[in-house]
């Protein structure tokens, strides 16, 4: 089951925001919302500028930073939750999410990049290199199998197939 929650979450948040504010911008109810990091209108980063104590109503205004995790989309946050819950056990993650090892590895790489880190260059190059037999028929079959397993993208497969001709 693949998750495509980002658009659904964005729409839901936009609707909740519209419902909770009247035309003058005054809050109508006290329902709490999750912190969002992206503007639902223009999709640029949002900035936290006010904190309020629910107990004594103290207000602190300024420019506050969000965690790196606040900038990840819902699918990546869900993956992190499953990853931590399963203590990084790839087999358990595969079973829970219903994805293959290469897909889980790619999702982990996407989270690493999403947090602002770079992947090890050697690792990326090794993943991109696809070894195939010299026989064109066998190579085509191997390339198609690698697409099916999620080891390479269709674009990478097209490049490899073009090299065989």
The predicted pLDDT at position 29 comes to 52
On whether residue 161 sits in a domain, the answer given is: yes
- Assess whether 101 and 77 both reside in one domain: yes
- Tell whether the model's pLDDT for residue 4 goes beyond 80: no
Last-in-domain residue among 16, 49, 66:
66
- Assess whether 77 and 122 both reside in one domain: yes
100 CB-contact burial (10 Å; exposed 0-12 / middle 13-18 / buried 19+): middle
- Assess whether 46 and 93 both reside in one domain: no
- Assess whether 35 and 76 both reside in one domain: no
On whether residue 138 sits in a domain, the answer given is: yes
Domain extent at residue 77: 67-127
Q: What is the DSSP letter of 102?
A: H
CA–CA distances in Å: residue 69 to residues 6, 66, 162: 15, 8, 40
Between 70 and 80, residue with greater pLDDT: 80
Q: Indicate the number of domains in the chain.
A: 3
- Assess whether 54 and 94 both reside in one domain: no
On whether residue 3 sits in a domain, the answer given is: no
Structure tokens at 113: 């990049």
The model's pLDDT over 84-138, given as tens digits with 9 standing for 90+, comes to: 999 999 999 999 999 988 999 999 999 999 999 998 865 544 455 555 444 555 5
- Tell whether the model's pLDDT for residue 45 goes beyond 60: yes
CA–CA distances in Å: residue 56 to residues 51, 53, 59, 64: 12, 6, 9, 20
Query: Of 142, 141, 139, whose CA–CA distance to 163 is shortest?
Result: 139
- Assess whether 110 and 148 both reside in one domain: no
pTM (2 decimals)? 0.48
Dist CA 156 CA 154 (whole Å): 5
Q: What is the DSSP letter of 118?
A: P
């Amino acid at each position: 089951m693949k998750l495509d929650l980002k658009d659904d979450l964005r729409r839901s948040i936009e609707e909740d925001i519209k419902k909770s504010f009247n035309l003058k911008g005054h809050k109508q109810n006290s329902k709490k919302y999750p912190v969002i990091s992206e503007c639902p209108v223009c999709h640029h980063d949002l900035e936290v500028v006010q904190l309020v104590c629910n107990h004594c109503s103290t207000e602190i205004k300024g420019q506050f930073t969000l965690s790196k995790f606040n900038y990840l989309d819902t699918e990546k946050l869900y993956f992190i939750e499953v990853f931590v819950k399963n203590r990084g056990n790839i087999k358990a993650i595969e079973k829970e999410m219903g994805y293959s090892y290469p897909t889980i590895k790619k999702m982990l790489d996407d989270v690493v990049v999403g947090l602002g880190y770079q992947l090890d260059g050697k690792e990326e190059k090794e993943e991109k290199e696809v070894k195939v037999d010299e026989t064109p028929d066998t190579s085509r079959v191997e390339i198609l199998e690698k697409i099916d397993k999620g080891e390479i993208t269709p674009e990478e497969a097209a490049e490899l197939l073009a090299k065989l001709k």
